Structure 1
Amino acid sequence: MGIPFDVTDRPPAHWQFLAGGLAGFIEIICFHPLDVVKTRIQIQGSRSYRGELIYSGPLDAFVKIYRYEGLSSLWKGIVPPICVETPKRGGKFLMYELFKPYFHFGAPQPTPLTHATAGSVAAILESFLVNPFEVVKITQQAYREKRLKTLSVVKYIIKHDGYGIRGLYRGITALVARNAVFHFGFFGFYNAIKDIVPRPQDSTHDFIRKVMIAGLASSLACVMSVTLDMAKCRIQGPQPVKGEVKYRWTINTIQTTFREEGFRALFKGLGAMIMRVGPGGAMLLVSYEYIFEFLKSKNM
C-alpha cells in the first residue's frame, strides 16, 4: 500500500507523546471516581454475595461508597493508571499519528475510516502494556473493606496466579476487543462529525464545538463497547465465589451474564461509563489537539 505523503514531514514524535501524556494525566485526575463507580456496578451480580451492598445506579454507588468507605475511596486504584496511563496515552497518540499514513485506503487525505482504523490498531497494541495495570486497578477498586496497597496487590497476584492469562494478563482478550471497538468508534465518529459540522471563526465557539463533538463520539463509542468492558471487569476483578473461577473468557462471560441476569445486564455500567468517558474522552482528545498545536507553534 503506498503512503500518500512524505512521512518525513511529520512533526517530531516527542510532541505527540508529550501532548498525549499531559492530556491523559489531566483526564485521569478529574474522572477517576467515575471509573471506580463504573467498575463496582459492572462486577456486581444480580444478588449480593457475602452481604455486600448492591448499587442501583451511578448516583447510588457514589453515595454508598462515600458513606461507607469515605471520600478518598473514590480514588481507589488511581496509582496504576497514573503510572501507566500517562505514558500510555502519549504512546497511543504517537502510534495513532504514525499509523494514519498507512490507512488512507487510496484517498489523498485522511478519512474518518483512516482515523478509526489507526486509532483501533494503536489501542490494540497498547492493550498488552496496560493489561497488568488494569488487573491491579480493578482489584483495588473492587475491594471495599480498606485501601489495598498497589505493590501488595501486584505481589499477591503474581504469587497466587502468576504473570499469564490466569494472573496479570487475565482478561487480555476482552481488553483487546474492548479497546479495538471503542477506539474505532471514538476516532471514527469524532472525525466524521467534525468534518460535517461547520467550523466557526471564533476560537471559543470552535473549542465548544470540538468538546461537544468529542463528548458525543465518546458516548457513542461507549454504547458500542460497554458489553466488552463489562466482561473485562468481571474477568479481571474478584470472582463472586472465593476459590471458584466463574468468569474466564470473554464470550463465556457475556453468555453467562445474559443467561443469569438478562439482556440489560450486558449494558451494566453504561451510565457511569458515559459519565466517565463522555466528558473524559472530550477532555482527552481536545486537550491533546490544543497541547499538540501549542507545541508545534512553539517549535519545541
Structure 2
Amino acid sequence: MPILCEASARPDAHYQFLAGGLSGFLEIVCFHPLDVVKARMQIQGTTPVRGEVIYRGPLDAIAKIYRHEGLTSFWKGIVPPICVETPKRGAKFLMYELLKPYFYFGAPQATPLTHAMAGSLAGTLESFIVNPFEVVKVTQQANREKPLKTLSVVKYIIKHDGYGIEGLYRGITALVARNAVFHFGFFGFYNAIKDWVPISQDSASELLRKVSIAGFASSLACVMTVTLDMAKCRIQGPQPVKGEVKYRWTIDTIRTTFREEGARALFRGLGPMVMKSGPGGALLLVSYEYLYDFFKTKNF
C-alpha cells in the first residue's frame, strides 16, 4: 500500500522508490507470520486432509504451528515477497501518482474518488508483477513439513505446470480482483476519513491521527476483500486431492466453498488478515514518511 501524497512523485521518484521498498521490507519482516496463519486458515477445509491439523482460529493456528513446526515456520515463504517488495512498492507508488490526474472528473483538486480510482488501477497493474511471487509464497506457506527452498519451488512449478494460468500465473484473476477492490477501498476510505478528522497542530497527535486513519482504512479494505483473498489462496495453494484441480477460477472457487463449507468459510482468515494489514498499513505509513523525509533531507 503506497502512502498518499499530494505532491508529484516524479521529481523525487528515487527517494520514494527507496523509502517505499525499505518500509515494505520492514512491514513484511514484522507481519509475515500473520500472513502464514491467514494462508493456512484459508486453504484448509472443514475436515482434515491426510490427517492434517485443523485450525480453529488465529490463536489456535499460531499455537499449533509453533508446537508442530517451530518458530521459524512463521517465516515460511518470506523470500518471494522480500524479492518483489522493493520494485513493487516503487512501481505502485509511481503509477498511483501518474494516474491521479486522469481521475479528477472535473474537480479542481483530487477527491477521495480520485485516490480510490488511481489506487485501484495501480493495484490492478501491480498484480501482473507479483502473481508469480504469490504462487511461490503460498506454496511454501501451505507446506507443513520442513521449509521448502524458494528456487526449488519455482523450478518445480515451472517444470510441472509452466509459466501460464496453470503455473506461475494461476490465480491471477483472483489477485487482480482482490487488489483492485482493496486499493479502491483503502485509498478511498483513507482520504475521505482524513478530510473529516480535523488536523492537529501537535506533531505527535497528527502522527497518531494519520496512523489511526490508515490502520482503520486498511482494516475496512480487508473486510471488503477477504473472500477474494480466500479464493486466491485456494487457487494458488496445493489442491485438496493431489493430481486433481478443484479450485481453478475465482467465482467457481467461491461457489464451491460456500456450497461445501457454508458462508462462514468465505470469511476465513479475516482475523489474521486484519491483524496484519491494519497495523501493517500504519507501520508502512510511519516508516515511509520517516524514510522519505530522511533521504530527502540528506539528499542521497
What TM-score do you get using the length of structure 2 for normalisation?
0.95
Work out whether 1:132 is the aligned partner of 2:132.
yes
Give, in whole Å, the separation in 1 of the partners of 2:252 and 2:268: 17
Q: Which deviations, in whole Å up to 9, do the C-alpha atoms of 1:229-279 show, x marking residues without a partner?
A: 000000000000111100000000000000000011110000010001110
Deviation of residue 299 (structure 1)? 4.7
Amino acid at match of 1:43: I
Aligned to 2:205: 205
Amino acid at match of 1:256: T
Aligned to 1:191: 191
Q: Residues 1-300 of structure 1: matches in 2 within 5 Å?
A: 10-300=10-300
Deviation of residue 126 (structure 1)? 0.8
Instruction: Name the SS of the counterpart of 2:164 in structure 1.
Output: coil
Do the aligned partners of 1:27 and 1:280 also contact (CA within 8 Å) in 2? yes
Q: Which deviations, in whole Å up to 9, do the C-alpha atoms of 1:77-106 show, x marking residues without a partner?
A: 000010002221121112111211221111
Q: Which deviations, in whole Å up to 9, do the C-alpha atoms of 1:103-152 show, x marking residues without a partner?
A: 11111111111111111111111100100000000000000011000000
Amino acid at match of 1:270: L
Instruction: Name the SS of the counterpart of 1:67 in structure 2.
Output: helix
Instruction: Name the SS of the counterpart of 2:48 in structure 1.
Output: coil
CA RMSD, 1 decimal:
1.5
Structure 1: runs of 5 or more not aligned: 1-6
Give, in whole Å, the separation in 2 of the partners of 1:26 and 1:259: 39
Amino acid at match of 1:201: Q
Identity among equivalent positions (%) equals 80
Give, in whole Å, the separation in 2 of the partners of 1:124 and 1:233: 17
Amino acid at match of 2:241: V
Amino acid at match of 1:252: D
Deviation of residue 10 (structure 1)? 4.6
Amino acid at match of 1:78: I
Instruction: Name the SS of the counterpart of 2:260 in structure 1.
Output: helix
Instruction: Name the SS of the counterpart of 2:50 in structure 1.
Output: coil
Give, in whole Å, the separation in 2 of the partners of 1:22 and 1:149: 24
Seen in structure 2, the aligned counterparts of structure 1 residues 117 and 43 have a Cα distance that, compared at 3 Å, is same
Do the aligned partners of 1:20 and 1:91 also contact (CA within 8 Å) in 2? no
Give, in whole Å, the separation in 1 of the partners of 2:112 and 2:288: 18
Q: Which deviations, in whole Å up to 9, do the C-alpha atoms of 1:12-68 show, x marking residues without a partner?
A: 321221221121111011100000000000000011100000000111111111110
Deviation of residue 288 (structure 1)? 2.4
Seen in structure 2, the aligned counterparts of structure 1 residues 81 and 192 have a Cα distance that, compared at 3 Å, is same
Seen in structure 2, the aligned counterparts of structure 1 residues 114 and 286 have a Cα distance that, compared at 3 Å, is farther
Give, in whole Å, the separation in 2 of the partners of 1:292 and 1:106: 31
Do the aligned partners of 2:20 and 2:89 also contact (CA within 8 Å) in 1? yes
Amino acid at match of 1:90: G
* Higher mean displacement: 44-53 or 284-293: 284-293
Give, in whole Å, the separation in 2 of the partners of 1:19 and 1:116: 22
Q: Count residues with an aligned counterpart.
A: 294
Do the aligned partners of 1:96 and 1:118 also contact (CA within 8 Å) in 2? yes
Aligned to 1:4: none
Amino acid at match of 1:99: L
Give, in whole Å, the separation in 1 of the partners of 2:248 and 2:83: 26
Instruction: Name the SS of the counterpart of 1:49 in structure 2.
Output: coil
Deviation of residue 298 (structure 1)? 4.4
Give, in whole Å, the separation in 2 of the partners of 1:288 and 1:94: 14
Give, in whole Å, the separation in 1 of the partners of 2:254 and 2:60: 25
Give, in whole Å, the separation in 2 of the partners of 1:162 and 1:12: 39
Instruction: Name the SS of the counterpart of 1:48 in structure 2.
Output: coil
Aligned to 2:3: none
Deviation of residue 8 (structure 1)? 8.0
Give, in whole Å, the separation in 2 of the partners of 1:129 and 1:94: 14
Instruction: Name the SS of the counterpart of 2:256 in structure 1.
Output: helix
Give, in whole Å, the separation in 1 of the partners of 2:116 and 2:285: 14
Seen in structure 2, the aligned counterparts of structure 1 residues 168 and 203 have a Cα distance that, compared at 3 Å, is same
